[in-house]
Amino acid sequence: MLDESASGTVDLLERICVPVPAIVIGELLGVPADRYAELRDAATAMVTFDASSKESATRLVGAVTWLAETFTNVVRSKHSAPGDDLISGWVRARDDADILSEDELVSLAFLMMLAGLDNAVHLCGNIFAALLTSKDPLGDWSTRRREVTEAANPLPFAIRRFAVENMTIGDHTIPEGDTVLLSLFGADSDPARDGRPSLMFGRGPHYCLGAQVTDLIVDATIPELFVRYPHVRLAVPESELEYRSSWRAHGLVTLPVTLAR
């Protein structure tokens, strides 16, 4: 990450945006601190996966295998030595009520990691990019934070839904069985939104479980960079920032900046 000695040009995505959420989610789940470096590497392999590269696919398989083994060991260890973390809470719930198998607990840990990591990484990257290309990068962060965060949302669509019956919305019919992609970007930029809260974290029973964690991650990463490096600036023109070619997440490939105090 960025310690006091960091200087010159660095990739903020690699140095801050990937490792911080990996550590925060790891800590939340109760992964031992001495595994954070591997967690960060597994996380990097996941969020940088390039389907056209064999090497990247091999890295991804290694990362997923490591994560499955690690989560399985964490779930087992929390049974005899519970802590103040999410997996310990799930294990307690399982032991008390005899619900959730070990496989289900490991899958839940994976869900938290997968649902959270990519979004948090790209949200931080998009916020940094927006601030670094604005006139007054940090400004009064506490008053701008909500607006900047919502504008930097990396998640265009909600999780897939399936029509369980024929549905008519406006003059459009969605036939039973069709897959439905709900556009969060579309809803949030709807001129008729009229003060309705952002759908960035969804709504209703599937409201994002990590919304508060995201706030923590954003507050732990964004202001600190500008406090430590008040003259930090993009190392390339804004037009040369490269975004991932993905319909799933609107995020950067790299975010090169020049650190300056």
Binding site for ligand HEM (CB under 6 A): 25, 111-112, 115-116, 119-120, 123, 153, 155, 158-159, 184, 200-202, 206, 208-210, 213-214
Q: Strands 167-169 and 161-162: what pairing?
A: unpaired
106 versus 213: smaller Cβ distance to ligand HEM: 213
CA atoms within 13 A on the CB side of 244: 23
120 versus 255: smaller Cβ distance to ligand HEM: 120
Residue 244 contacts by C-beta under 8 Å, 6 or more apart in sequence?
A: 122, 250, 251, 252, 253
CB 59 within 8 A of CB 45: yes
Rounded (5°) CA angle 45-58-36: 35
Least Å from the CB of residue 124 to ligand HEM? 8
The full DSSP string for 180-215 is E--BHHHHHT-GGGTTPPP-TT--GGG--TTHHHHH
Beta bridge partners of 172: 169
Taking only Cα atoms into account, the Rg of the chain, rounded to an integer number of angstroms, comes to 20
Least Å from the CB of residue 25 to ligand HEM? 5
Least Å from the CB of residue 105 to ligand HEM? 14
146 versus 233: smaller Cβ distance to ligand HEM: 146
Question: Which residue is nearest to ligand HEM, using beta carbons?
Answer: 210
Least Å from the CB of residue 168 to ligand HEM? 22
196 versus 233: smaller Cβ distance to ligand HEM: 196
Least Å from the CB of residue 27 to ligand HEM? 11
22 versus 257: smaller Cβ distance to ligand HEM: 22
